[in-house]
């Protein structure tokens, strides 16, 4: 299935890459930084952290030093989850925003200093390095420091989105000084240097991230925010800590999809696949409207529940177990009409009568370690606010909270020290390991032993779980090659009956979806609307057979391997 490249007819020039050690990112310099760490004796975690640091420099539209991050790590034996998302400032009681925005405001601002939450990405780098890395943490920062100081030529996709952000963000504090060095966005191929970020990275390297939360960078961020009327303080930064969490697994077609638990939306992909398990997708043409329609309708039902219930776990009114309960998903699957599009509402998984703008990268090494890693400033350039002395481009995750006037998820109401609903979700696929007789290998705890299959992710706001579902259906239901499943034209559900599809989708399929009741806009902007993924599939013993990887043609990315 995955070993041969096929001329699948999708508009892409990408080919799969085979190697025993691989790094796949949406910018070549990030992949090369990861490969450099592997060549120095590091492992997949070292490679992922080094690549992530470089990505904050070379793809500033999508992430920066002021971002959040999440990760899934297969250590060779089991899967670990890391939530490195930040919390609201202690001053963010609901009245903070109603006083500033009025009682009718539904969310905190989309941009500006009042959208800024504690940045968690740096703490995630440190936590990954301390628990799993081999190389000194400072070595992992060196490629990013070099790129920031020396500069790089701005590539095609990044340049287009950089220029598009300028009208909205050019007046935000610190933005023009950091990202408009000649009073405009860099042109395609123009050299861009980020000396302030290099200073920040050097401080992070020298202190193993301590300066970012309890040192000179933390002090600079707090001063900057205060000067522009915001709420984030040194105490908020000092209180931050990443959290190791147990990944959530859900079965589909003989495999298990693993996602991180809330406050993220990964459960949406698992719910949609749980609904789709009640349909024979393999009997339908992979690029036909009937197969896509079922996926779209399943995704709608999953989102209806996720937007109603998912938030910081302690505040949720329905548990993950309730949302993934097989009988609940079976009931919800019966709401799908194969012949007509619908606009569903949230269900009642907690019914007492019921039983029972982001960058993604992945790395794998020949010892069997695999890393699924994602970090983001949320929307392009985040808040638009950039602390000038250390180049900290602050995220706008605060916009993800609800305010008292919002009719949506009450569990996601803003509160001091609370984490908002999050969109960025790394993913991982496993399957049961088999013994010599082809039977499932059971562990000492009586549970099936799992073996790794794929580390993957698809960046792009609410496109992320939709991308997970579409890719897995292509791989597991239809047996498409890895690069083909990555290249294939995608759809994106918005709200109600609204759907976006890529311009490369077969017009007959588009017309078929319209005939089923979908309100479709055909768009030719893959970066913004259809996400971009990186995928590494294990082919067997990593030391002998290695992996195959695919990088999404919708970004400037690269798979690097040896």
Q: Which residues are annotated as catalytic? A: 358
**What residue has token string 């047996």?**
479
**Radius of gyration from C-alpha coordinates of the chain:** 22
Sheet architecture: strand order including 79-84: 243-245, 79-84, 68-74, 370-376, 359-364, 22-25, 558-561
Q: For the residues of 320-369, what is the DSSP string, one character each?
A: HHHHT-HHHHHHHHTT--TTS--------TT-TTS----EEEEEE-TTS-
Please state, in angstroms and rounded to a whole number, the distance separating the CA atoms of residues 149 and 195. Answer: 5
What SS3 class is residue 402? Answer: strand
Please state, in angstroms and rounded to a whole number, the distance separating the CA atoms of residues 182 and 176. Answer: 9
Exposed / middle / buried, residue 413 (Cβ in 10 Å: 0-12, 13-18, 19+): middle
Q: b/e map of 68-84 (b: 16 or more CB within 10 Å)?
A: bbbbbbbbeeebbbbbb
List the helix and strand counts (H, then E) for the chain. 19, 21
Closest CA to 71 of 140, 8, 126: 126
Residues with Cβ within 8 Å of 525's Cβ and at least 6 positions away in sequence, in order, are none
- Decide: 518 and 42 in contact? Cβ < 8 Å: no
Closest CA to 525 of 493, 558, 483, 492: 492
Query: What is the phi-psi region of residue 52: left when phi exceeds 0, alpha when psi lies from -120 to 50, beta otherwise?
Result: alpha
User: How many residues comprise the chain?
Assistant: 562
């Amino acid at each position: 299935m995955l070993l041969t490249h096929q001329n699948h007819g999708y508009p892409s020039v990408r080919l799969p890459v085979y190697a025993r050690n691989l790094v796949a990112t949406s910018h070549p310099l990030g992949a090369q930084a990861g490969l450099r760490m592997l060549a120095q004796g590091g492992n997949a975690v070292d490679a992922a952290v080094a690549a992530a640091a470089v990505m904050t420099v070379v793809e500033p539209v999508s992430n920066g030093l002021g971002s959040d991050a999440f990760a899934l790590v297969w250590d060779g034996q089991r899967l670990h989850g890391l939530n490195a998302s930040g919390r609201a400032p202690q001053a963010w009681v609901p009245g903070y925003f109603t006083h500033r925005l009025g009682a009718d405001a539904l969310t905190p601002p989309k941009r500006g200093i009042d959208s800024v939450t504690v940045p968690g990405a740096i703490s995630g780098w440190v936590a990954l390095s301390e628990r799993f890395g081999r190389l000194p943490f400072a070595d992992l920062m060196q490629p990013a420091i070099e790129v920031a100081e020396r500069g790089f030529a701005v590539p095609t996709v990044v340049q287009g989105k950089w220029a598009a952000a300028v009208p909205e963000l050019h007046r935000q504090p610190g933005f023009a000084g950091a990202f408009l060095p000649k009073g405009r966005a860099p042109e395609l191929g123009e050299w861009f240097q980020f000396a302030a970020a290099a200073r920040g990275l050097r401080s992070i390297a020298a202190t193993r991230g301590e300066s970012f939360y309890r040192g000179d960078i933390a002090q600079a961020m707090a001063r900057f925010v205060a000067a522009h009327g915001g709420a984030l303080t040194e105490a908020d930064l000092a209180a931050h800590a990443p959290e190791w969490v147990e990944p959530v697994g859900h079965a589909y077609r003989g495999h298990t999809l693993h996602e991180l638990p809330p406050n993220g939306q990964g459960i949406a992909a698992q719910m949609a696949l749980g609904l789709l398990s009640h349909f024979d997708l393999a009997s339908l043409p992979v690029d036909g409207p009937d197969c896509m329609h079922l996926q779209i309708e399943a995704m709608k039902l999953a989102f209806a529940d996720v937007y109603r219930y998912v938030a910081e776990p302690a505040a949720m009114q329905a548990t993950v177990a309730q949302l993934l309960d097989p009988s609940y998903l079976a009931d919800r699957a019966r709401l799908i009409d194969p012949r007509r599009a619908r606009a569903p509402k949230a269900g009642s998984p907690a019914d007492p009568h019921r039983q029972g703008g982001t960058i993604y990268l992945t790395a794998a090494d020949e010892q069997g370690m695999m890393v699924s890693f994602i970090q983001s400033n949320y929307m392009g350039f985040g808040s638009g606010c950039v602390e000038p002395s250390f180049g900290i481009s602050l995220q706008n995750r605060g916009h993800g909270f609800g305010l008292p006037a919002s009719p949506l998820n009450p569990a996601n109401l803003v509160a001091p020290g609370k984490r908002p609903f999050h969109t960025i979700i790394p993913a991982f696929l496993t399957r049961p390991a088999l013994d010599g007789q082809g039977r499932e290998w059971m562990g000492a705890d009586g549970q099936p032993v799992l073996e790794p299959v794929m580390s993957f992710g698809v960046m792009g706001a609410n496109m992320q779980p939709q991308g997970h579902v579409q890719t897995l259906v292509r791989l597991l239901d239809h047996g498409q090659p890895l690069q083909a499943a990555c290249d294939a034209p995608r759809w994106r559900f918005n709200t109600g009956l609204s759907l976006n599809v890529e311009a490369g989708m077969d017009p007959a399929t588009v017309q078929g979806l319209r005939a089923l009741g979908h309100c479709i806009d055909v768009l030719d902007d893959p970066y913004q609307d259809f996400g971009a993924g990186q995928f590494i599939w294990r082919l067997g013993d990593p030391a002998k057979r290695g992996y195959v990887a695919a990088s999404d043609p919708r970004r400037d990315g690269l798979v690097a391997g040896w």
